[in-house]
């Protein structure tokens, strides 16, 4: 991967800096929610640069569910396209960093099961889906074989 390009949104950039800068001992929850989040380090689809984004921690067995909600906005977050182009990621869950491979969930049954797990972990996801006409993308990050 190329050089790191920090997130453009101030609070997101600050969150990543606090989380990563502490080695995963600080900023491990999303703002004032108290709910845990992870940092996904991935490669930019166009730039090839290293990118980092905080996402809600949705863990199912040994995998993480990555939900492209963007708060119910009409467009997907940019990281969705990055993961489609470059599926190898590092997931930081507090002090543990693991190299993983992502795949987009297409099977309806698997998608429903993982969506329920996601809403259980972060209830606002249900509201986000009602705010948009797009199908919110769901990825699974799995340990490398």
Q: Does domain 2-143 have CATH number 1.10.3720.10?
A: no
Domain ranges of the chain: 2-143
pLDDT along the chain (145 residues), means of 10: 88 96 96 93 95 97 96 95 98 98 98 98 95 96 93
Q: What is the pLDDT of residue 1?
A: 57
Three-state secondary structure call for residue 88: strand
Q: What is the pLDDT of residue 32?
A: 82
Q: What is the pLDDT of residue 31?
A: 84
């Amino acid at each position: 991967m190329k050089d790191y390009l920090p997130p453009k949104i101030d609070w997101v950039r600050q969150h990543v800096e606090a989380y990563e800068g502490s080695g995963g001992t600080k900023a491990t929850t999303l703002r004032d929610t108290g709910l845990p989040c992870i940092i996904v380090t991935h490669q930019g689809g166009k730039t090839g640069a290293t990118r980092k984004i905080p996402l809600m921690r949705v863990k199912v067995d040994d995998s993480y569910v990555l939900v492209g909600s963007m708060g119910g906005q009409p467009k997907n977050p940019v990281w969705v396209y990055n993961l489609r182009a470059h599926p190898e990621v590092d997931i930081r869950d507090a002090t543990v960093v693991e190299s993983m491979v992502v795949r987009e969930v297409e099977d309806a049954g698997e998608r429903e099961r993982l969506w329920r797990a996601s809403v259980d972990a972060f209830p606002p996801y249900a509201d986000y889906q009602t705010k948009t006409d797009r199908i919110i993308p769901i990825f699974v990050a799995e340990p490398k074989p």
